Structure 1
Amino acid sequence: MDEYYIYIVECSDGSLYTGYAADVKERVKKHNAGLGAKYTRHRIPVTLRYQESFATKSEAMKREIAIKKLSRKQKMLLIGDE
């Protein structure tokens, strides 16, 4: 059974980026190599702050969209920083 994840990384400028991946560890490595999302390319290094797992890619993508709609304060509460 495959698992999919959503994750939140904190960029070097303090901003937060949310994405989904089948392998979060490898995805964070790609971000830090400058091969990840366009948003993170000039904000490296990034640090993994949060992740959730899902049974399907569809569930993970729906959760990613929901998290992206949250305010920064709500995201910080989610990752346990406020």
Structure 2
Amino acid sequence: MKLYYVYIVECNDKLLYTGITNNISRRLAEHNSDKNENSFTYSRRPVELIFHQEFNDANQAIYFEKKIKKWSAQKKKALANGDYGLLQILAECRNATHYKNKAGKE
């Protein structure tokens, strides 16, 4: 069975990069190599793997990667640290149009 990994690396400048691969060790080595000058991580090496999750379905992995790519760095770090309480707090919508913030709602 082929496995897929959604991962987050922290770059030397503390920026985060989220990706997907079927070979986590090879992909991490690629991020830290000097082969692709146009990659996001090229000028931010070395990178450190701070999170990965394994999937046996490519579509599930792609869905999860797309979802967390939109997250804030703070939310991604909470996931990487296993801080699910903070993750839940950060996931709550706080904008004025959210249903919880409408007049008459509790």
TM-score by length of 2: 0.71
SS in 2 for 1:5: strand
Give CA deviations for 1:48-79 in whole Å, capped at 9, x if unaligned: 00000111222111111101111111111101
CA 1:20 to 1:11, structure 2 compared with 1: closer, same or farther past 3 Å? same
Q: Deviation at 1:35?
A: 3.8
Partner of residue 62, structure 1:
63
TM-score by length of 1: 0.91
**Quick check: 1:34–1:40 contact (8 Å CA) kept in 2?**
no
Structure 1 runs, 4 residues or longer, greater than 4 Å off? none
Partner of residue 72, structure 1:
73
Which has the greater radius of gyration?
2
SS in 2 for 1:38: coil
Percent identity between the two aligned chains: 37
Higher strand fraction: Structure 1 or Structure 2?
Answer: 1
CA 1:81 to 1:3, structure 2 compared with 1: closer, same or farther past 3 Å? closer
Tell me which amino acid in the other structure corresponds to 1:27. R
**Quick check: 1:7–1:48 contact (8 Å CA) kept in 2?**
yes
Higher relative contact order (CA 8 A, sep 6+): 1
Structure 2 unaligned residues grouped into runs of 5+ = 84-106
